[in-house]
Amino acid sequence: MNKLKQRGLTFLVLLTTAGMMTGCGGSSTPDLEKALAKTAEYEQKTVTSPASDSLGGEWTVIALARSGEKAEDNYFEKYRANLEKKLKEQDGILSENKYTEYSRAVLALCAIGEDPSEIGGYDIQKPLEDYETVVSQGLNGAVFALLALNAQDPQANKDGEVQKKYLDYILEQEKSDGGFSLDDNATEGDVDLTAMTLQCLEPYQEEENVKDTIDRGVEFLADAQDADGGYTAYGDKSSESVSQTIIALSTYGIDCNEDERFQKDGKGLYDTLMTYYQKDGSFSHTEDGDSDPMATDQAFCAMVAYERCQNKENSFYNMTDHR
């Protein structure tokens, strides 16, 4: 299996140009607001009927709903209808063992202001209370379950019994370098899982031990950057690692383009992400690659998270302010 295919499979398990602005060091980078609008337009043109799936589905819905961009008529209704159809066809079961399928759907429903406990006659939050099945998928299972269970109202939900179990499990997975890994046996953290893990810890950041974990994770992400400002993970340099890091930093109000820890080679992280940007609003997996749906979904989420950070709005996964 070649590296790109392996990379794509890894992300499926984990889940999953107009105007200019002056970036760090004076480099020219596409303006965030205009680039975001272009990407939102591209996503709706290419994902015309969003489904319950890791590609062509929930991540597009979540990013669009969390952005200030206009959704096409009935776009979110199409997603809900497709999800209900799938649930009815499968007797309410999205997966027997990969419960990130439920987490992703819950996040999408929360983003569009729907109740995940009553969708087509099913409560799709309920499976996320099955702690043993969720953690059998590994750290990413726990991370996304915690994000999903807290999304509607983090302050009200964060201290639930199962949420605390997930939190304890997640904190126990920290590596000695301050990072986290999909591989339980790894001795070092990896960029993508570290960034994703930080994203789910936001409601607990006032707890001293969690704050320390977050601080170590941020330093890990800064230290893991390549000299050119990008990231190499799973054997190749890609936009997805940059995207996940931007979401993580934006969660805690850290400006990914201005914070000195993340400025390398005269660029901030937003500058680096935009080196993967295509003229049609999509993103490539590698700098010299073609448009890639996974890379585009994750970059779309990252741009929305960064814009929300700049506007001092709720973080990407705190959906008490769903639009």
Per-residue pLDDT of the chain (323 residues; tens, 9 = 90+): 444 444 444 444 455 333 333 333 334 899 999 999 999 999 999 999 999 987 889 999 999 999 989 999 999 999 999 999 999 999 999 999 899 999 999 999 999 999 999 999 999 999 999 999 999 999 999 999 999 999 999 999 999 999 999 999 999 999 999 999 999 889 999 999 999 999 999 999 999 999 999 999 999 999 999 999 999 987 889 999 999 999 999 999 999 999 999 999 889 999 999 999 999 999 999 988 899 999 999 999 999 999 999 999 999 999 998 75
| Structure token pair of residue 195 | 């960034």
- Eight-class DSSP state of 160: S
In contact, 207 and 35? CB cutoff 8 Å: no
pLDDT in the model for residue 27:
47
pLDDT in the model for residue 296:
97
| Cβ-proximal residues to 57 (8 Å cutoff; 6+ apart), any chain | 47, 50, 51, 79, 82, 104, 108
In contact, 144 and 15? CB cutoff 8 Å: yes
pLDDT in the model for residue 215:
98
| Structure token pair of residue 41 | 């337009």
d(CA 276, CA 274): 5
Q: Cα–Cα distances in Å, from 182 out to 68, 87, 170, 238? A: 33, 29, 11, 18
Closest CA to 234 of 224, 222, 249, 223: 224
pLDDT in the model for residue 3:
41
In contact, 195 and 245? CB cutoff 8 Å: yes
pLDDT in the model for residue 54:
78
pLDDT in the model for residue 20:
34
In contact, 256 and 246? CB cutoff 8 Å: yes
pLDDT in the model for residue 265:
85
d(CA 11, CA 28): 30
d(CA 59, CA 231): 22
Closest CA to 276 of 300, 254, 304: 300
pLDDT in the model for residue 14:
52
pLDDT in the model for residue 17:
31
| Cβ-proximal residues to 77 (8 Å cutoff; 6+ apart), any chain | none
d(CA 99, CA 38): 32
Q: What angle do CA 302, 108, 149 make, to 5 degrees?
A: 95
